Amino acid sequence: SAGEHDMTANIVHLVLARLPDAPKGSKGISLFVVPKFNINADGSLGDRNPIFCTGLEHKMGIHGNATAQIAIDGAIGTMVGQPNKGLAAMFVMMNAARLGVGNQSLGLTEVAYQNALAYAKDRIQMRSLSGVKAKDKDADPIIVHPDVRKMLLTAKAYAEGGRALQIFCTLLLDKVHSHPDEKVRAESEEMVALLTPIVKAFITDNGHISTNACMQVFGGHGFIKEWGMEQYVRDNRINMIYEGTNTIQSLDLLGRKILGNNGATLKKLGKLIGKLVEEEGVNEKMAEFINPVAMLGDQMTKFTTEIGFKGMQNPDEVGAAAVDYLRVAGHLVFGYLFARMAQVALREIAAGNTDPFYGAKLQTARFYFAKLFPETATLMRTARAGSKVLMDTDLALA
């Protein structure tokens, strides 16, 4: 990204490379800083390092960021950290970048939603199925049609859930860096590690769904460049690919973060849900938000054990289930956060707060649990279908 430019006096490239005597595989990769200009002993810029831009990639989206093809020919680099520990050093940056990619997709979801909402209020087409709504016009605004509302609310719910998750992760990171209790710092770091692949994959998958839905609200106009909606679809598509594809995130979540520690961190997430259930379990107004999350939390324990047991017998079972599993886990986290948002909204409304913000939160949460959350049942069923139907397909893929 922006591998060559004249906006700064120097450019610093982080390069993964192998030392001559390095072990084979990923365990033999080191990390180096390779500058565009070498640095003199007094800190001034020295000779040009032989690292050059040989071209620019022609991409589907994110045209505002130039992706450069870089060639290195005997350049001088400085090792970062220890020899053969380059991947570990790089992943400090990668994990932060994965949270950032989730934020990037979240921003695209939000701006696509805002544009689609404004368009749906203004564009008139057909009459409402339940009767005329705009008597002074030749047709009703398309926002009166159920499926248009479904597309808008899908984007709104995924934006609000994603924003809540990012804020939750930011709070955890504050605890990692600043909490006086070492145990709290360690537990917060474990939770961030668990949530990072969910932030990266679930939010960006939802961003793809949402930007496409918002473009669809525009109908034929959405397919025309000058309306701007197709750019959000194109720009979001990379978020599912870079900083580790979403399939890799799924394997990381299920294989390393959950099965790798026998579900210990997942159980801590379960305790957060259990605490909320304990606080609000007798509150009838919270039942519609609490019950689905509590039920899925219980199902996740059995679901995880089942996939883990099958994976011990055949590792392909983990690979076949991972993407569906991450999406179920994402809904579990979103469901917990929507329940917490509903908890606050109900409390504020009961206290006499008439700000429509809180009523909107409840309506969005109700839509989420009614129309989006139920896909977890299908996802668990397809994950349980196993790997055989995928791997025994040589004839189909010939």
Q: Residues 91-114: what's their mean pLDDT?
A: 96
Average pLDDT over residues 158-165: 99
Q: Is the pLDDT of residue 281 over 90?
A: no
Active site positions, annotated: 243
- Say how many C-beta atoms besides its own lie within 10 A of residue 78's C-beta: 12
Give 63-74 pLDDT, tens digit per residue.
999 999 999 999
Which among 37, 31, 33 is positioned nearest to 4, based on CA atoms?
A: 37
Residue 368 has pLDDT above 90, yes or no: yes
Mean pLDDT of 148-162: 99
3-state DSSP assignment of residue 36: coil
- Give the C-alpha distances (Å, rounded to integers) separating 89 from 31, 248, 256: 7, 19, 18
**Is the distance from CB of 332 to CB of 258 less than 8 angstroms?**
no
Q: How high is the pLDDT of residue 92?
A: 86
- Residue 38, pLDDT > 90, answer yes
| pLDDT at position 254 | 98
**What CATH architecture is 86-242?**
Up-down Bundle (1.20)
User: Using CA atoms, how far apart are residues 177 and 72, in angstroms rounded to an integer?
Assistant: 37
Please write the tens of the pLDDT for every residue from 201-255: 999 999 999 999 999 999 999 999 999 999 999 999 999 999 999 999 999 999 9
Q: Find the mean pLDDT for residues 366-383.
A: 99
> Across residues 249-266, what is the average pLDDT?
95
8 Å CB contact between 93 and 14: yes
What share of the chain has pLDDT > 70, as a percent?
100
Mean pLDDT of the chain: 97
Kindly indicate whether the domain formed by 12-80 is annotated with CATH number 2.40.110.20: yes
Domain boundaries, the chain: 12-80, 86-242, 248-261+278-390
CA 338 – CA 326 distance, rounded (Å): 18
Q: In the prediction, which pLDDT does 93 show?
A: 87
* The two three-digit tokens of residue 26, written as one number: 């990923």
Length of the chain: 398
Within this chain, domains 12-80 and 86-242 share the same CATH topology: no
**Tokens representing 199?**
């932030």
What's phi and psi for 13, nearest 5 deg?
-100, 135
Q: How far apart are CA 153 and CA 339, in angstroms?
A: 17
Mean pLDDT of 140-156: 98
Q: What DSSP character marks residue 247?
A: H
Q: Which of these ranges, 70-74, 89-93, 126-130, has the smallest mean pLDDT?
A: 89-93
Region 303-319: mean pLDDT is: 98
Q: Which two tokens stand for residue 60?
A: 């589907």
Q: What are phi and psi of 10, to 5 degrees?
A: -145, 160
The string of DSSP letters for 210-234 reads HHHHHHHHTGGGGGSGGGSHHHHHH
195's tokens? 């949530």
Interacting residues of 234 by C-beta distance below 8 A, sequence separation 6+: 60, 61, 62
Task: Please enumerate in sequence order all residues whose Cβ is within 8 A of that of 49, keeping only pairs 6 or more positions apart, or say none.
Answer: 34, 35, 36, 37, 38, 75, 76
- Residue 27: alpha-carbon gap to chain centroid: 28
The pLDDT value recorded for residue 111 is 99
Cβ atoms of residues 300 and 307 within 8 Å: no
